[in-house]
A and B are shown apart, each in its own frame.
Chain A
Amino acid sequence: MNLKELNERVSAARKETEARGETFYPGPSRVHLAAFPPKERWDDWVELESKAWPERSERRYMLVPTTCFNCESACGLLAYVDRETFGVRKFEGNPEHPGSRGRNCAKGPATLNQVTDPDRILYPLKRAGRRGEGKWVQVGWEEVLEDLAGRIRKAIQENRHNEVMYHVGRPGEDGFTERILAAWGVDGHNSHTNICSSSARAGYQFWMGLDRPSPDHANADVILLISSHLEAGHYFNPHAQRVMEAKQRGAKLVVFDTRLSHTATHADVWVSPYPGSEAAIMLAVANYLVQNNLYDREFVRRWWNWEEYMAVEHPELETSFDGFEEILKSLYAEFTFEHAARESGVDARQLEEVARIVSTAGSRFSSHNWRSAASGNSGGWQVARTLFLVNALLGAVATEGGVFPNAWNKFVPKPIYLPPHPPRWNELTWPREYPLAMNELSFLLPHFLKDGRGKVDTYFTRVYNPVWTNPDGFSWIEVLQDENLIGCYVALTPTWNETAYFADYVLPMGHGSERHDIHSYETHDAQWLGFRQPVLRAARERLGDEIKDTREVNPGEVWEENEFWLELTWRIDPDGSLGIRKFAESQERPGERLGVDEYYGYIFQNSVPGLPERAAAEGLTPLQFMRRYGAFEIGSKTGALYEQEVGEEELEDSRTDRFGRVYTRTPKPASPNVVPIPAPDADAEGRRFVGVNVDGKILRGFPTPSGRLEFYSKTLADWGWHEYAVPAYIKSHIHPDNLNPDQTVLISTFRLPVQIHTRSANAKWLDEIAHTNPLWIHPRHAAQLGVKTGDAVRVETETGYFVVRAWVTEGIRPDVVACSHHMGRWKLAHEGEGQRQLMQTVALDHKGAEWELKRERAAHGYTSPDPDTTRIWWADVGVHQNLTFPVHPDPVSGMHCWHQAVRVRKAEPSDRPGDIHVDTEKSRAVYRAWLQFTRPADAHSPDGTRRPYWLLRPLKPAREFYKLPEVMSDE
């Protein structure tokens, strides 16, 4: 036997197979979690029919990839399309997806439940009676489009652009709808982000310019999570599998979570701090690194903006790094472990152990905070800022195993059209009180409308349910019922929700396997592009059919948003006179409306490096390639881009200022990647910021005003928040100092790992696993109250109370109670059908501002085309606690601070779990009180603008509209 020849023979066979785009080595199944069908068999995959067991009857499937839409992680799915019935039989993971690598959480396969949900909305509906009365008539898309296009056209023609608003929950796409709004010229984007993640974003943005972390967990030696990130949160599935890989390698996992979450159970060190004390702990860790010289001096010297800090804050001292280090040593000296222990209620020795572990990580320190503590507390943005301080001290920034700015691990391909920045500013979403807010002050909209700050003519919600999701839902109901404040409300949603009941139009939109989107997320140190698609459209096209409109393959008249928005845009400006139509026009067939095939075909052909070549190698067009595989990796291991040298060719007539910032006359080179990046200001003569001079070399640096990591944020200092310009500890609104002796803290922000806000309510598999949200309460606390598991308790907030069942558990601290926000879904009695698996039927009443929601009927089995609905065995679906929370806008980040100071007591005999009582007058008072904490642009803007131009902002208006009006109005 000649081994060499044998080797060569195998080699040749492999190359030949791979040249055909097929897989040679299937990969040993026992090494991976599962064996995936090899991609060359995706057209005709045979499995045994499970329901025919024990008979061995074969069924043939076509496997079509798409992207999960049940959270923002955008994991790959493979739809098993039955070749006989053309129905989707199941969803499994897509092994070709670089982020999720074929693995999914429970919510991915449950997409099937959403597709086959017997209660889903299949046709456009129009309100027939009063708003919220529950009377609907089925209407055609034609009527809907004409009505809405007419309204929006009229608003634009009458210069009421700011009365058109689009309010989005999870976008699940990268900028498509923002560009539609830009095409209309409206500043009408309104996101949910200020009730979600904007606090952590602020903490990151003030450091590195970009507002999201991209931790390289897989390569870290120490991982610190201030979250329950193994079970929930942004990119949890792609991240969790990489965290576990690191752990298997021997990495240490430190988890800060007040609750004993699933994530906490996987930690090497679990820290359960008093909520809001996290920043104090992180400063103690930082102080330990500083006092013991355990930080990366070279990194700090090269990359922190310490020179600027010294020059501005200590002009009396000579600017030297040694001098800065001395100040650094004194700055955080008070943040001892003992101090942190007092604030957090955690043993100082455990905190020191955390610091010691962190100090061993070097530049392989990955950390993550997204919601959790940042979103719960006023000043919570400092949790992310102090956490990143530790990364910045260790030099664990864009290193292997460190934390990257997200944009470096993300690819947003340039689309066919880039409409200009809108020429206006909308104060309903970007009010002057919050010049540094990371996102729209969306959750204050009812209060602003009641204040008379403006009105909304046409209001769209999409994948969003503000009545249920936002705090202070009754105030939302109040304004939604007032047609003078909201002229026409359009709910774009696949399923019924609490807000849609108050709509004028309910328009059915597709689930994850029924719509197009592209996305790219920072799941690891790579850039990839994922493609969501209507799988039946792709399957039919593979068989040679031509599909012009996704409605042809979707159930009923369910549409997808891309085609809807393009069609609406086309109709708003039928003759092109408003300059809008051109952004929805086909380039291949001028005079016709742009279609999704052309839209995505253009992007994949022109804006994704490497994709056309890769597709051609398999004899496919780029669009066919993406329809076949669902994802493409553009590159990996981007590394420390800040260290990249700026080439001579980009330094025409360049200037360097006293802090080493370099400006150039060379225009910005074109890039196919249009991921939003902050734009530090030009110099006085209009040169563009291009990099920083570090030790004589001109390097890319960071997209911050200083070009470096901003230990010192001059932006914060200049805009009225001087005391927080360096990472600091801000005592939370629920700090013990701010609580009455009989109050305790309620944590309300955590997810149930298998549910996802509004979208999963009718996923029967998920509902069976998780359908209620009891109040976590410590045995000691429960004993004081005389309460045991299953008893009803009243939880009193500032504006009312809710009734919930107790769950007595040692998984929570004695001074804290916790209740997941994922439950308590309800529908009104007269809604009849609606969603039924996870919703209780309620009576909603109010006398003036006093609102009451009472359970009339628990969840129950019912007859439907799906026999499983008769088998619903659960009745209790929890409580909608968010209704009882007033708004708590953080004066800096604009984030709603979720944690509540509450009183817990035994329920009254007449109380039933799920009952709610709220006084919206009290909500108004709390809103006004928090408004007093702000430092408005009118009084604090250093340059007469509304907001620092360099900060990220969705749908950024043109620069001249950043200027505050010369004369203040009296409003």
Chain B
Amino acid sequence: MELFRALAVLVEPPDRPGVARVAEALGLGELPEASAYTDLFVFQLYPYASVYVGAEGMLGGEARDRVAGFLAALGRDVPAEPDHLALLLGAYAGLAEAEGASPGGRRESLRRARRALLWEHLLSWLPVYLDKVERVAPHFYRRWAEMLRAALDAEAETLGAPETLPLHLREAPAVADPREAAPEEFLKSLLAPARSGLVLVRDDLARAAREIGTGVRAGERLFALRSLMGQDAAGTLSWLAREADAWHALHRQRRAAHGAVAGWWAERAASTARLLRALSVDDAAQDSEDAGRGRREGA
């Protein structure tokens, strides 16, 4: 479990004392610049479970409470940010170590707790998260992500999957249909991975703008997405649908390792893709009407 602790340390800024020593032990080579860390963990991929499994797609909320409740049930002190990746990995290592040092009956219950932590709060989101890290991160963090994935996969194999899906996923609603809900809700839900099945970071939205051929407006993701929709709704919707397809394929590949959880993510991405396609057809029809009224001059 040394490995989990060591990997946890690397979710901290590289200029913190001690990080270099751990990176060296892992054979990860030279540390990246502090700015690479900031770009990855502070701007693109916040390392908190609640962002990926919560209905809001943001820090905190019920998802974080579920993690906190889990830690409290283990009799642990619940820190202010219980769902931070470093803490979850540390907790996992702690459980494994306690298990090794405990007598029979207690060992069994600690093992059950560890299995629950693995599937409920780590494997429910980390494979998806690491997929994204591997696509946007510099070399150092890509190596880190590969190691973490390998370590998680090994644990998943050892402990086996439970029968039920993680509660986070069971509780997560799908993307809000803008034909029934407010448009703002729709956009927000697209940005919440557990609702849409896809992870959209800032860079993705910039890429979307390039690919659709619209301008990109700097700002938070919701603002950027709203602005894309405002400029070219149909183009944005189809771009998002293609993105959902890609995620669907990606999740499907993970089914061998993570079974039903990967299946759930795949299904979520597929259903988002279906919705987006349906909307894109509607929107194209709407667009031609609008064009007739001359509303899109200059677009």
* A residues adjacent to B (C-beta < 8 A): 1, 3, 6-14, 17, 23-26, 28-32, 35, 37-38, 41, 245, 248-250
B3 is an interface residue with CB less than 8 A from chain A: yes
When distances are taken between beta carbons in the complex, the residues of chain A under 8 Å from B79 are 30-32
- Give the contacting residue for A13; candidates B24, B86, B154; CB below 8 A: B24
Asked if A38 contacts B81 (CB within 8 A), the reply is no
Using CB atoms, name the residue of chain A closest to B3: A7
Using CB atoms, name the residue of chain B closest to A28: B86
When distances are taken between beta carbons in the complex, the residues of chain A under 8 Å from B84 are 28, 30-31
Using CB atoms, name the residue of chain B closest to A32: B79
B78 is an interface residue with CB less than 8 A from chain A: yes
> In the complex, A41 Cα to B19 Cα: how many Å?
14
> In the complex, A467 Cα to B59 Cα: how many Å?
56
Taking the closest CB of chain B, its distance from the CB of A217, in whole angstroms, is: 13
Taking the closest CB of chain B, its distance from the CB of A287, in whole angstroms, is: 33
When distances are taken between beta carbons in the complex, the residues of chain A under 8 Å from B179 are none
- Give the contacting residue for A28; candidates B6, B8, B21; CB below 8 A: B8
When distances are taken between beta carbons in the complex, the residues of chain B under 8 Å from A29 are 12, 16
Closest 5 CB pairs of A and B: A26-B18, A13-B25, A28-B86, A10-B2, A10-B6
Asked if A41 contacts B2 (CB within 8 A), the reply is no
> In the complex, A6 Cα to B84 Cα: how many Å?
24
Chain B residues numbered 253-267 whose CB sits less than 8 Å from any CB in chain A: none
Asked if B72 contacts A250 (CB within 8 A), the reply is yes
A-B contacts, 28 listed (Cβ < 8 Å)? A1-B146, A1-B150, A3-B150, A7-B1, A7-B2, A10-B2, A10-B3, A10-B22, A10-B26, A12-B25, A13-B21, A13-B22, A23-B18, A24-B18, A24-B22, A25-B6, A25-B9, A26-B9, A28-B90, A30-B81, A30-B86, A31-B86, A31-B87, A31-B90, A32-B79, A37-B17, A248-B77, A249-B75
Asked if B21 contacts A31 (CB within 8 A), the reply is no
Chain B residues numbered 145-194 whose CB sits less than 8 Å from any CB in chain A: 146-147, 150-151, 154
> In the complex, A38 Cα to B20 Cα: how many Å?
13
Using CB atoms, name the residue of chain B closest to A35: B16
Using CB atoms, name the residue of chain A closest to B87: A31
Taking the closest CB of chain B, its distance from the CB of A3, in whole angstroms, is: 6
Taking the closest CB of chain A, its distance from the CB of B297, in whole angstroms, is: 48
Using CB atoms, name the residue of chain B closest to A244: B77
Taking the closest CB of chain A, its distance from the CB of B175, in whole angstroms, is: 31
When distances are taken between beta carbons in the complex, the residues of chain A under 8 Å from B151 are 3
B5 is an interface residue with CB less than 8 A from chain A: yes
B104 is an interface residue with CB less than 8 A from chain A: no
> In the complex, A30 Cα to B72 Cα: how many Å?
18
When distances are taken between beta carbons in the complex, the residues of chain B under 8 Å from A249 are 72, 75, 77-78
Taking the closest CB of chain A, its distance from the CB of B157, in whole angstroms, is: 11
- Give the contacting residue for A6; candidates B16, B26, B87; CB below 8 A: B26
Asked if A9 contacts B18 (CB within 8 A), the reply is no
> In the complex, A12 Cα to B24 Cα: how many Å?
12
Taking the closest CB of chain B, its distance from the CB of A670, in whole angstroms, is: 34
When distances are taken between beta carbons in the complex, the residues of chain A under 8 Å from B72 are 248-250
> In the complex, A249 Cα to B78 Cα: how many Å?
7
When distances are taken between beta carbons in the complex, the residues of chain B under 8 Å from A28 are 8-9, 11-12, 84, 86-87, 90
Asked if A25 contacts B18 (CB within 8 A), the reply is yes
Asked if A6 contacts B12 (CB within 8 A), the reply is no
B27 is an interface residue with CB less than 8 A from chain A: yes
When distances are taken between beta carbons in the complex, the residues of chain A under 8 Å from B19 are 26
Known: A9-B26, A28-B87, A249-B78. 13 other contacts (CB 8 A): A1-B150, A13-B25, A14-B25, A24-B18, A26-B12, A26-B17, A26-B19, A28-B11, A30-B79, A31-B87, A38-B17, A248-B72, A249-B77
Using CB atoms, name the residue of chain A closest to B68: A248
> In the complex, A32 Cα to B19 Cα: how many Å?
17
Chain B residues numbered 18-47 whose CB sits less than 8 Å from any CB in chain A: 18-19, 21-22, 24-27
> In the complex, A38 Cα to B18 Cα: how many Å?
8
When distances are taken between beta carbons in the complex, the residues of chain B under 8 Å from A38 are 17-18
Asked if A1 contacts B147 (CB within 8 A), the reply is yes
When distances are taken between beta carbons in the complex, the residues of chain B under 8 Å from A3 are 3, 150-151, 154
Supposing A7-B3, A10-B6 touch, asked if A248 and B21 sit within 8 A by C-beta, the answer is: no
> In the complex, A909 Cα to B72 Cα: how many Å?
60
When distances are taken between beta carbons in the complex, the residues of chain A under 8 Å from B17 are 26, 37-38, 41
> In the complex, A250 Cα to B87 Cα: how many Å?
20
Asked if B21 contacts A6 (CB within 8 A), the reply is no
Using CB atoms, name the residue of chain A closest to B154: A3
> In the complex, A28 Cα to B25 Cα: how many Å?
18
Taking the closest CB of chain B, its distance from the CB of A486, in whole angstroms, is: 53
Taking the closest CB of chain A, its distance from the CB of B121, in whole angstroms, is: 15
Using CB atoms, name the residue of chain A closest to B13: A29
Which one of B24, B75, B79, B154 has the highest number of Cβ atoms from chain A below 10 Å of its Cβ? B79
Chain B residues numbered 73-128 whose CB sits less than 8 Å from any CB in chain A: 75, 77-81, 84, 86-87, 90
> In the complex, A150 Cα to B77 Cα: how many Å?
59
> In the complex, A7 Cα to B27 Cα: how many Å?
11
Asked if B2 contacts A14 (CB within 8 A), the reply is yes
